[in-house]
Amino acid sequence: MDQQAKRKNIALIILVASLGYFVDIYDLILFSVVRVQSLKDLGVAPDDMLKVGATIINSQMLGMLVGGLIWGILGDKKGRLSVLFGSIITYSLANIANGFATTVDQYTIIRFIAGVGLAGELGAGITLVAETMSKKNRGYGTMVVACVGLMGAVMAAQISERYTWQTSYFIGGGMGLLLLSLRVGLAESGMFKETTENENVQRGNFFMLFNNWSRFKKYICCIFIGLPLWYVVGVLITFSPEFGKALKASGALDAGKGIMYCYIGISIGDVVAGFLSQMLKSRKQVMLIFLLLSGVAIAVYLYSFGLTPERFITLSLLLGFASGYWATFVTIAAEQFGTNLRATVTTTVPNFIRGSLILITSSFIYFKDKLGILQGAMVVGAVCIFISILALSQLKETFSKDLDYVEK
């Protein structure tokens, strides 16, 4: 492939990965945006909103855990492109079906299926970008993917304000199906192709992550460093109406707007984190800065008594910006492992983080009942921050690391 064709392919890969992640985030976050209205239409009592909502979110996240394994292994066995578009088809059809849900049970099952589909998009896209771009500039590529993708949450909030929750799901599914047309002309990762030519290389063997202590430790630590982000989105923002009551807010807090502004903050944070990592030539230093900032932002939010809806928007932006290390975190995971396990790791790690929301929300509900909603949230948040910083300290720096190698 000549230089011009290579540059064109890189640009197309970034475009497809970015737009794919855009639709991915739109669909992933849509339930949090339409939770109250959709559950009200399905007959859920106001007092049951939190618990039913948590059950449905957990179902979606469980689907992502399952999907992460399926798509990750397929990505290393069959190729990054097959996963990128297989996942798009799955979650697009599931979201269209979601618009026809008439019971809570249907809603819960379909969100599980959608979760399975949503699990493949980010890992396949980031893996393709990381393996195609130069080692010095790939941080910019993954930054663009995350920045564009995370704006899907903004669109989810905007669409939900203008249309019914059913139509919002239809739009998400339709956007996903439209994305498939961009597949034409997209080339597979050269590094992946090389591994397919060597019969002695085990590709997509998930158990290789557990039969070597060094690999297992890296894998677990890659998962743990992302815990605070989903705590912020899945607990603090999703259940902001309930937090507003506990903080004696002067008006009702809108979770949809909170998510929109939180993701605007995450997108801005991702750009800043991406540029900082390139300037400092370090992923770890940037991660530490943002994790510490997340701790501060969480504390400010949970002590904001007398909160106004306007100040809630500002805090959502702050929480989002402090959590804007998603691209850096996924890039670290991609850079930690060889080509024959890279898609497996890069796909499962973010989905295990998302899946950890099951434990996070369950812990939150437990401590909420024991200590109260604010104190319970503070305990869970503090534990998430502590674990992530400890995990980060155990990982090696990967900036400019050569990725053309395999795990043996």
- The pLDDT, as a whole number, for residue 351 is 82
Q: State the Cα–Cα distance between residues 239 and 10, nearest whole angstrom.
A: 39
Residue 7: count other Cβ atoms within 10 Å of its Cβ: 11
pLDDT for residue 183: 66
Question: Residue 188 has what pLDDT?
Answer: 66
Say which amino acid occupies 277.
S
> Would you say residue 149 has pLDDT above 90?
no
Assess contact for 97 and 89: CB atoms under 8 A.
Answer: no
Distance separating alpha carbons of residues 33 and 30, to the nearest angstrom: 5
Say if CB 9 and CB 133 are below 8 A apart.
no
161 confidence band (pLDDT: 50, 70, 90): confident
Domain 3-182+205-393 classified CATH 1.20.1260.10? no
Q: Which residue has the higher pLDDT, 352 or 109?
A: 109
Q: Dihedrals φ, ψ of 405, to 5°?
A: -155, 165
Structure tokens at 140: 């910019």
Per-residue model confidence (pLDDT) at position 190: 65
- pLDDT tens per residue, range 120-140: 887 788 888 888 887 777 878
Placement of tokens 């910019």 in the chain? 140
* Greatest mean pLDDT among 142-146, 161-165, 314-318: 314-318
Domain residue spans of the chain: 3-182+205-393
Taking the alpha carbons at both ends of the chain, their separation in whole angstroms is 29
From the list 9, 12, 313, 241, the residue with the least C-alpha distance to 144 is 12
Tokens of 166: 């059913």
**Predicted confidence (pLDDT) at residue 1 exceeds the cutoff of 60:** no
d(CA 402, CA 323) in angstroms, rounded, equals 27
pLDDT in tens, 362-407: 899 999 999 999 999 999 999 999 999 999 999 999 888 877 777 7
Residue with tokens 């930690």: 336
Which tokens is 179 given? 């994305």
Round to whole Å and give the CA distance between 87 and 92.
8
pLDDT at 189: 65
| Mean per-residue pLDDT, 177-205 | 72
More confident residue, 91 or 405: 91
CA-closest candidate to residue 291, choices 356, 232, 367, 362: 232
Specify the DSSP class assigned to residue 189. Answer: P
Instruction: Give me 50's structure tokens.
Output: 């939190």
Tokens 């996903």 locate to 176
- Judged by average pLDDT, the poorest of 55-59, 76-80, 103-107, 250-254 is 76-80
pTM of the full structure: 0.80
Per-residue model confidence as pLDDT tens digits over 22-56: 888 888 878 878 888 899 999 888 888 888 888 88
For 137, counting Cβ atoms within 10 Å of its Cβ (0-12 exposed, 13-18 middle, 19+ buried), the class is exposed
- Torsion (CA) 390, 392, 397, 401 in degrees, nearest 10: 140
Q: Are 227 and 387 in contact (CB under 8 A)?
A: yes
Q: What does the block give as tokens for 385?
A: 């921050």
Structure tokens at 197: 């030519």
Going from the C-alpha of 26 to that of each of 19, 69, 272, 273, the distances in angstroms are 11, 22, 22, 22
Q: What is the pLDDT of residues 234-286, one digit of tens each?
A: 899 988 989 999 999 998 888 878 888 888 898 889 889 988 988 899 999 99
- Helix count and strand count (H, E) for the chain: 19, 0
